[in-house]
Amino acid sequence: MNAVMAIAGATFGEAIRKRILIVILLIALLIILISPAFGPFAGGRGARTMIISFGFGVIQLAGTFIAIIMCTTMIPTEIERRTIYTILSKPVQRYQFVLGKFFGAIGTLGFMYLMMGIVFLIATRFAIGEFDARIIPGLIMFFFQSSLLAAVVLFFSTFVSPLVNYFLSGGVFLLGNLLSSFLETIQRNPEVTPLTRIPVQILTLILPNFSNFNVQNPIINPEQVITDPVAYTVQTLAYALVYMTMLLVLSMLIFNQREM
Protein backbone atom coordinates (compact mmCIF):
# COMPACT_ATOMS: atom_id res chain seq x y z
CA MET A 1 0.00 0.00 0.00
CA ASN A 2 2.97 2.24 0.68
CA ALA A 3 4.05 2.00 -2.96
CA VAL A 4 0.51 2.64 -4.24
CA MET A 5 0.17 5.74 -2.08
CA ALA A 6 3.64 6.98 -3.07
CA ILE A 7 2.76 6.63 -6.77
CA ALA A 8 -0.66 8.23 -6.18
CA GLY A 9 0.99 11.15 -4.38
CA ALA A 10 3.52 11.66 -7.19
CA THR A 11 0.72 11.48 -9.79
CA PHE A 12 -1.37 14.01 -7.89
CA GLY A 13 1.62 16.33 -7.44
CA GLU A 14 2.38 16.22 -11.13
CA ALA A 15 -1.23 16.56 -12.31
CA ILE A 16 -2.07 19.63 -10.25
CA ARG A 17 0.93 21.36 -11.79
CA LYS A 18 -0.11 20.64 -15.36
CA ARG A 19 -0.76 23.99 -17.00
CA ILE A 20 -3.55 22.73 -19.23
CA LEU A 21 -5.48 21.38 -16.22
CA ILE A 22 -4.90 24.58 -14.26
CA VAL A 23 -6.19 26.62 -17.20
CA ILE A 24 -9.34 24.47 -17.47
CA LEU A 25 -9.91 24.78 -13.73
CA LEU A 26 -9.43 28.55 -13.74
CA ILE A 27 -11.78 29.03 -16.71
CA ALA A 28 -14.39 26.83 -15.00
CA LEU A 29 -14.03 28.75 -11.73
CA LEU A 30 -14.42 32.05 -13.57
CA ILE A 31 -17.55 30.92 -15.40
CA ILE A 32 -19.06 29.46 -12.19
CA LEU A 33 -18.32 32.74 -10.43
CA ILE A 34 -20.14 34.77 -13.05
CA SER A 35 -22.92 32.19 -13.58
CA PRO A 36 -25.46 34.16 -11.41
CA ALA A 37 -25.37 36.81 -14.13
CA PHE A 38 -27.19 34.34 -16.40
CA GLY A 39 -30.14 34.11 -13.98
CA PRO A 40 -32.18 36.89 -15.55
CA PHE A 41 -32.03 35.05 -18.92
CA ALA A 42 -33.92 32.11 -17.42
CA GLY A 43 -37.29 33.04 -18.84
CA GLY A 44 -40.00 30.79 -17.46
CA ARG A 45 -37.75 28.30 -15.68
CA GLY A 46 -36.67 30.60 -12.89
CA ALA A 47 -33.31 32.09 -12.07
CA ARG A 48 -32.47 29.45 -9.43
CA THR A 49 -32.88 26.53 -11.88
CA MET A 50 -30.89 28.37 -14.51
CA ILE A 51 -27.98 29.19 -12.18
CA ILE A 52 -27.75 25.70 -10.69
CA SER A 53 -28.10 23.79 -13.94
CA PHE A 54 -25.67 26.13 -15.70
CA GLY A 55 -23.13 25.73 -12.87
CA PHE A 56 -23.49 21.95 -12.95
CA GLY A 57 -23.04 22.02 -16.71
CA VAL A 58 -19.77 23.93 -16.38
CA ILE A 59 -18.53 21.62 -13.63
CA GLN A 60 -19.42 18.52 -15.64
CA LEU A 61 -17.70 19.84 -18.75
CA ALA A 62 -14.57 20.85 -16.82
CA GLY A 63 -14.53 17.46 -14.99
CA THR A 64 -14.84 15.64 -18.32
CA PHE A 65 -11.98 17.56 -19.94
CA ILE A 66 -9.78 17.19 -16.85
CA ALA A 67 -10.41 13.43 -16.63
CA ILE A 68 -9.69 12.83 -20.32
CA ILE A 69 -6.66 15.12 -20.65
CA MET A 70 -5.11 13.98 -17.38
CA CYS A 71 -5.55 10.23 -17.80
CA THR A 72 -4.81 9.94 -21.52
CA THR A 73 -1.12 10.70 -21.08
CA MET A 74 -0.71 9.40 -17.55
CA ILE A 75 0.83 5.99 -18.37
CA PRO A 76 2.23 6.68 -21.88
CA THR A 77 4.22 9.65 -20.54
CA GLU A 78 5.76 7.51 -17.82
CA ILE A 79 6.89 5.02 -20.48
CA GLU A 80 8.13 7.70 -22.86
CA ARG A 81 10.16 9.45 -20.14
CA ARG A 82 11.33 6.11 -18.74
CA THR A 83 10.28 7.05 -15.20
CA ILE A 84 8.35 3.80 -15.19
CA TYR A 85 11.59 1.83 -15.49
CA THR A 86 12.98 3.19 -12.25
CA ILE A 87 9.63 2.52 -10.58
CA LEU A 88 9.09 -1.02 -11.87
CA SER A 89 12.70 -1.94 -11.08
CA LYS A 90 11.79 -1.33 -7.45
CA PRO A 91 9.62 -3.84 -5.57
CA VAL A 92 6.51 -2.43 -7.21
CA GLN A 93 4.12 -4.72 -9.00
CA ARG A 94 2.43 -3.53 -12.14
CA TYR A 95 -1.02 -3.63 -10.57
CA GLN A 96 0.27 -1.33 -7.84
CA PHE A 97 1.47 1.10 -10.48
CA VAL A 98 -1.95 1.15 -12.19
CA LEU A 99 -3.73 1.54 -8.85
CA GLY A 100 -1.38 4.35 -7.80
CA LYS A 101 -2.00 6.17 -11.07
CA PHE A 102 -5.76 5.77 -10.69
CA PHE A 103 -5.83 6.97 -7.10
CA GLY A 104 -3.63 9.91 -8.09
CA ALA A 105 -6.14 10.77 -10.82
CA ILE A 106 -9.05 10.46 -8.39
CA GLY A 107 -7.20 12.66 -5.89
CA THR A 108 -6.66 15.29 -8.58
CA LEU A 109 -10.31 15.16 -9.64
CA GLY A 110 -11.35 15.39 -5.99
CA PHE A 111 -9.19 18.47 -5.53
CA MET A 112 -10.55 20.10 -8.71
CA TYR A 113 -14.15 19.31 -7.74
CA LEU A 114 -13.55 20.69 -4.26
CA MET A 115 -12.32 23.96 -5.75
CA MET A 116 -15.21 24.20 -8.20
CA GLY A 117 -17.73 23.10 -5.54
CA ILE A 118 -16.65 25.75 -3.05
CA VAL A 119 -16.86 28.51 -5.68
CA PHE A 120 -20.20 27.15 -6.91
CA LEU A 121 -21.66 27.13 -3.38
CA ILE A 122 -20.45 30.67 -2.72
CA ALA A 123 -21.75 31.93 -6.08
CA THR A 124 -25.21 30.38 -5.62
CA ARG A 125 -25.37 31.52 -1.97
CA PHE A 126 -24.95 35.12 -3.07
CA ALA A 127 -27.17 34.75 -6.14
CA ILE A 128 -30.19 33.08 -4.54
CA GLY A 129 -29.69 34.06 -0.93
CA GLU A 130 -29.37 30.52 0.48
CA PHE A 131 -27.51 27.24 0.08
CA ASP A 132 -29.38 24.90 -2.27
CA ALA A 133 -29.43 21.40 -0.77
CA ARG A 134 -29.18 19.77 -4.22
CA ILE A 135 -25.72 21.12 -4.92
CA ILE A 136 -23.60 18.83 -2.73
CA PRO A 137 -25.16 15.50 -3.85
CA GLY A 138 -25.00 16.83 -7.40
CA LEU A 139 -21.29 17.57 -7.05
CA ILE A 140 -20.73 14.06 -5.67
CA MET A 141 -22.58 12.54 -8.63
CA PHE A 142 -20.52 14.49 -11.15
CA PHE A 143 -17.32 13.65 -9.29
CA PHE A 144 -18.19 9.96 -9.62
CA GLN A 145 -19.08 10.46 -13.29
CA SER A 146 -15.64 11.99 -13.91
CA SER A 147 -13.97 9.25 -11.85
CA LEU A 148 -15.70 6.59 -13.94
CA LEU A 149 -14.58 8.39 -17.08
CA ALA A 150 -11.02 8.52 -15.65
CA ALA A 151 -11.16 4.73 -15.20
CA VAL A 152 -12.31 4.34 -18.83
CA VAL A 153 -9.46 6.57 -20.08
CA LEU A 154 -6.89 4.79 -17.91
CA PHE A 155 -8.14 1.44 -19.20
CA PHE A 156 -7.68 2.51 -22.83
CA SER A 157 -4.29 4.05 -22.03
CA THR A 158 -2.93 0.61 -21.16
CA PHE A 159 -3.12 -0.43 -24.81
CA VAL A 160 -3.77 2.48 -27.19
CA SER A 161 -1.88 5.66 -28.02
CA PRO A 162 -2.96 8.95 -26.42
CA LEU A 163 -4.42 10.30 -29.68
CA VAL A 164 -6.59 7.23 -30.22
CA ASN A 165 -7.50 7.35 -26.54
CA TYR A 166 -8.86 10.91 -26.83
CA PHE A 167 -11.31 9.81 -29.50
CA LEU A 168 -12.14 6.45 -27.91
CA SER A 169 -12.80 7.90 -24.45
CA GLY A 170 -14.66 10.89 -25.86
CA GLY A 171 -16.79 8.52 -27.92
CA VAL A 172 -17.51 6.24 -24.98
CA PHE A 173 -18.48 9.24 -22.85
CA LEU A 174 -20.81 10.56 -25.54
CA LEU A 175 -22.43 7.18 -26.18
CA GLY A 176 -22.64 6.48 -22.45
CA ASN A 177 -24.62 9.69 -22.07
CA LEU A 178 -26.96 9.08 -24.98
CA LEU A 179 -27.46 5.34 -25.31
CA SER A 180 -29.92 4.69 -22.47
CA SER A 181 -32.34 7.39 -23.65
CA PHE A 182 -31.88 6.21 -27.23
CA LEU A 183 -32.64 2.64 -26.17
CA GLU A 184 -35.77 3.77 -24.34
CA THR A 185 -36.90 5.61 -27.45
CA ILE A 186 -36.39 2.70 -29.84
CA GLN A 187 -37.94 0.24 -27.41
CA ARG A 188 -41.11 2.34 -27.44
CA ASN A 189 -41.11 2.34 -31.21
CA PRO A 190 -42.62 -0.90 -32.60
CA GLU A 191 -41.23 -0.17 -36.06
CA VAL A 192 -37.60 -0.62 -34.96
CA THR A 193 -36.30 -4.00 -36.09
CA PRO A 194 -34.27 -6.32 -33.81
CA LEU A 195 -31.32 -5.72 -36.15
CA THR A 196 -31.18 -2.15 -34.87
CA ARG A 197 -32.43 -2.78 -31.35
CA ILE A 198 -30.10 -5.62 -30.35
CA PRO A 199 -26.78 -3.86 -31.10
CA VAL A 200 -28.02 -0.82 -29.17
CA GLN A 201 -29.03 -3.09 -26.27
CA ILE A 202 -25.60 -4.74 -26.26
CA LEU A 203 -23.78 -1.41 -26.43
CA THR A 204 -25.94 -0.02 -23.63
CA LEU A 205 -25.09 -3.05 -21.53
CA ILE A 206 -21.35 -2.91 -22.18
CA LEU A 207 -20.65 0.81 -22.13
CA PRO A 208 -20.86 2.70 -18.85
CA ASN A 209 -24.08 4.61 -18.38
CA PHE A 210 -22.94 8.17 -17.80
CA SER A 211 -26.43 9.65 -18.08
CA ASN A 212 -27.48 8.37 -14.64
CA PHE A 213 -25.13 10.93 -13.08
CA ASN A 214 -26.64 13.90 -14.90
CA VAL A 215 -28.46 15.37 -11.92
CA GLN A 216 -29.28 18.59 -13.69
CA ASN A 217 -31.81 16.75 -15.89
CA PRO A 218 -34.52 16.55 -13.19
CA ILE A 219 -33.71 20.13 -12.22
CA ILE A 220 -34.22 21.35 -15.76
CA ASN A 221 -37.09 18.97 -16.55
CA PRO A 222 -39.55 18.89 -13.66
CA GLU A 223 -41.45 16.02 -15.38
CA GLN A 224 -38.48 13.72 -14.60
CA VAL A 225 -39.24 12.68 -11.04
CA ILE A 226 -36.90 10.62 -8.87
CA THR A 227 -39.11 9.10 -6.19
CA ASP A 228 -36.32 8.15 -3.79
CA PRO A 229 -33.31 10.43 -4.40
CA VAL A 230 -31.21 8.78 -1.67
CA ALA A 231 -31.67 5.26 -3.09
CA TYR A 232 -31.06 6.58 -6.60
CA THR A 233 -27.83 8.28 -5.54
CA VAL A 234 -26.58 5.23 -3.63
CA GLN A 235 -27.40 2.91 -6.55
CA THR A 236 -25.71 5.17 -9.06
CA LEU A 237 -22.60 5.55 -6.94
CA ALA A 238 -22.48 1.79 -6.30
CA TYR A 239 -22.79 1.26 -10.08
CA ALA A 240 -19.83 3.62 -10.60
CA LEU A 241 -17.74 1.78 -8.00
CA VAL A 242 -18.46 -1.64 -9.49
CA TYR A 243 -17.79 -0.45 -13.01
CA MET A 244 -14.57 1.29 -11.96
CA THR A 245 -13.39 -1.87 -10.18
CA MET A 246 -14.05 -3.93 -13.30
CA LEU A 247 -12.17 -1.47 -15.48
CA LEU A 248 -9.25 -1.36 -13.05
CA VAL A 249 -8.99 -5.15 -12.95
CA LEU A 250 -9.00 -5.25 -16.77
CA SER A 251 -6.42 -2.43 -16.90
CA MET A 252 -4.17 -4.33 -14.50
CA LEU A 253 -4.47 -7.57 -16.50
CA ILE A 254 -3.62 -5.83 -19.77
CA PHE A 255 -0.83 -3.75 -18.24
CA ASN A 256 0.65 -6.86 -16.66
CA GLN A 257 1.23 -8.32 -20.11
CA ARG A 258 2.33 -5.09 -21.70
CA GLU A 259 5.90 -4.71 -22.90
CA MET A 260 7.50 -1.31 -22.51
Nearer to other proteins, 54 or 102 (CB): 102
Residues of this chain, 8-47, that bind other proteins according to CB under 8 A: 9-10, 13-14, 17
Taking the complex as a whole, how short is the minimal distance between the CB of residue 194 and other proteins, in angstroms? 35
Nearer to other proteins, 73 or 211 (CB): 73
Residues of this chain, 44-83, that bind other proteins according to CB under 8 A: 81-83
Cα–Cα distance for residue pair 74/92, rounded to 1 Å = 17
Taking the complex as a whole, how short is the minimal distance between the CB of residue 83 and other proteins, in angstroms? 6
Contact residue for other proteins among 30, 34, 37, 85 (CB under 8 A)? 85
| Residues contacting 153, CB < 8 A, separation 6+ | 67, 68, 71, 72, 165, 169
Q: Does 253 bind other proteins (CB under 8 A)?
A: no
Closest CA to 15 of 126, 153, 129: 153
Taking the complex as a whole, how short is the minimal distance between the CB of residue 87 and other proteins, in angstroms? 7
Cα–Cα distance for residue pair 11/105, rounded to 1 Å = 7
Cα–Cα distance for residue pair 148/207, rounded to 1 Å = 11
Residues of this chain, 89-108, that bind other proteins according to CB under 8 A: 89-93
Closest CA to 121 of 56, 27, 66, 212: 56
Contact residue for other proteins among 26, 86, 192, 202 (CB under 8 A)? 86
Nearer to other proteins, 70 or 92 (CB): 92
Binding site for other proteins (CB under 8 A): 2-3, 5-7, 9-10, 13-14, 17, 81-93, 259-260
